[in-house]
Amino acid sequence: MGFWGQGPQRWFCNFCSEAMKTITIFGATGSIGQNTLDLVRRNRNDFKVVGLTGASNIRQLAQDALDLGAEIAVTADESALPALRDALAGSGVQAAAGQNALRDLAARPVDLAVSSIIGAAGLAPSLIAAQQGTTLALANKESLVCAGPLLKATAQKSGATILPVDSEHSAIFQALIGEDMAAVERVIITASGGAFRDWDTADLAKATPDQAASHPNWNMGQRITIDSASLFNKAMEVIETKEFFDVSPDKIEVLIHPESLVHALVGFSDGALMAHVGPPDMRHAIGFAMYHPTRADLPVQRLDLAQIGQLTFRPACEDRHPALRLARDVMKNGGLWGAAFNAAKEVAQDRFIAKAIRFTDMAAVVEETLTQMSSDSGLSVAPQDLETVLHADQLARNVAAAVKV
């Protein structure tokens, strides 16, 4: 295994005898996954890659698994297993595929599991890793939106630590270090405003998927970029804030901040407002979680505030961005509403990408799905297990696919 030797329970760097963190990355082929691997490559003495997962991008998955000497590569797509096996043949890297393989990998003990699959598909690995007591670097906001109370109870039972990777939540987390939650008056998360922040509201209905998938500040996966344009991403993050920090919804505010340099602010009872300022580069939040509780030397731009000159903020209007209003309903109702909200949003986005509905119809599909499902009393039940959440998710998908707009 090259330069690395294995101790009884931990991996050690043979050069410096420092313990290495064993790491598995769920969604390694995606935007967060690739940024994580960039940090691993720059610091090969710090991390021992155990598992990498992907879905459709087999070439990238195999290349990274070989390069980093992973023990196993898993694709969610069972039909891609032969291609993955071929690409890894003779290397000693194990190949596996399908939901059970993903769950088995999540159950495998590591020091850190990065949860960066897109969508509700990321929930099972998050939950299973948390069951094992594995420290979770959580990018997959859907895990908290769909099943926040369940994930938190699972982590509490096993003793697992959950660290935020979403930039706003990493920022809040950092602003709260050493603080008393009882003194928190408000939490403000910022939104770039996405691709259409300067468009007239009347023009939004004409926006195309390609236009929505082009972000002015951040380089992210296609789906979260479209969610940024509709502010569904921010709506998800408001729910994520409530779940992550146990903040009451009326204390959570959203500000449009086109520069994307202030990621979040926490207001305290003495009037202090602690802001987290940094470049729009996910490697900061990812690296913070990877090295927690220490701070590493990360390869992100150091901001020159004198050159930047000014930072601007404006309120986020719920009439223009109905996703934010829907998030308030979801938080008020609790239970499985988050799972239904997210599933409906994913289906609405699929329909928009397929050009079957307009940009502005996405919120209408989600709202109508929730309205139709509100008569189902099962939705108000707090999620008890993964199956209950996936059931609500599937019901919402069926309803959302049939909503006429």
The residue ranges that bind ligand NDP (CB under 6 A) are 27-33, 54-57, 76, 116-118, 121-122, 139-142, 166, 218, 220-221, 223-224, 282
Residue 56's binding partner among ligand NDP, Mg ion, none (Cβ under 5 to 8 angstroms by kind) is ligand NDP
Burial of 301 (0-12, 13-18, 19+ CB in 10 A): exposed
- Residue 252 phi, psi (nearest 5): -100, 125
Q: How many angstroms separate the Cα of 219 from the Cα of each of 38, 190, 223, 242, 365? A: 15, 17, 12, 26, 27
| Of 164-172, 362-370, 383-391, 396-404: span binding Mg ion (CB under 5 A) | 164-172
Residue 117's binding partner among ligand NDP, Mg ion, none (Cβ under 5 to 8 angstroms by kind) is ligand NDP
Cβ proximity to ligand NDP, 20 vs 151, nearer residue: 151
Residue 54's binding partner among Mg ion, ligand NDP, none (Cβ under 5 to 8 angstroms by kind) is ligand NDP
Any idea what DSSP says for residue 213? Answer: T
Cα atoms found within 13 Å of the Cα of residue 293, Cβ hemisphere only: 3
Residue 121's binding partner among ligand NDP, Mg ion, none (Cβ under 5 to 8 angstroms by kind) is ligand NDP
* Coil vs helix vs strand at 273: strand
Residue 140's binding partner among Mg ion, ligand NDP, none (Cβ under 5 to 8 angstroms by kind) is ligand NDP
Rounded-to-integer distance, Cα 220 and Cα 282, Å: 9
Cβ proximity to ligand NDP, 20 vs 340, nearer residue: 340
Cβ atoms of 41 and 23 within 8 Å: the answer is: no
Residue 367's binding partner among ligand NDP, Mg ion, none (Cβ under 5 to 8 angstroms by kind) is none
Residue 139's binding partner among ligand NDP, Mg ion, none (Cβ under 5 to 8 angstroms by kind) is ligand NDP
Query: Residue 91 is encoded by which pair of tokens?
Result: 């290397």
Cβ proximity to ligand NDP, 232 vs 337, nearer residue: 232
The number of residues making up the chain comes to 405
Q: Does 166 bind Mg ion (CB under 5 A)?
A: yes
Rounded-to-integer distance, Cα 320 and Cα 263, Å: 22
Q: Does 227 bind Mg ion (CB under 5 A)?
A: no
**What residues does 262 pair with on adjacent strands?**
277
The amino acid occupying position 180 is D
Rounded-to-integer distance, Cα 330 and Cα 341, Å: 7
Cβ proximity to ligand NDP, 20 vs 386, nearer residue: 386
Cα torsion 42, 293, 283, 146 to 10°: value is 130
Rounded-to-integer distance, Cα 259 and Cα 193, Å: 10
Q: Which residue is nearest to ligand NDP (CB)?
A: 30
Q: Does 368 bind Mg ion (CB under 5 A)?
A: no
Q: How far is the CB of 71 from ligand NDP (least distance, A)?
A: 18
Cβ proximity to Mg ion, 168 vs 361, nearer residue: 168
Residue 184's binding partner among Mg ion, ligand NDP, none (Cβ under 5 to 8 angstroms by kind) is none
Any idea what DSSP says for residue 186? Answer: E
Q: How far is the CB of 212 from ligand NDP (least distance, A)?
A: 14
Q: How far is the CB of 80 from ligand NDP (least distance, A)?
A: 9
Cβ proximity to ligand NDP, 217 vs 374, nearer residue: 217
Cβ proximity to ligand NDP, 222 vs 360, nearer residue: 222
Q: How far is the CB of 309 from ligand NDP (least distance, A)?
A: 26
Q: How far is the CB of 53 from ligand NDP (least distance, A)?
A: 6
Strand order in the sheet with 262-268: 273-277, 262-268, 184-191, 252-256, 314-315
Q: How far is the CB of 215 from Mg ion (least distance, A)?
A: 11
Residue spans of alpha helices (H) in 305-360:
305-308, 322-333, 337-353
Give residues in contact with Mg ion (CB under 5 A): 166-168
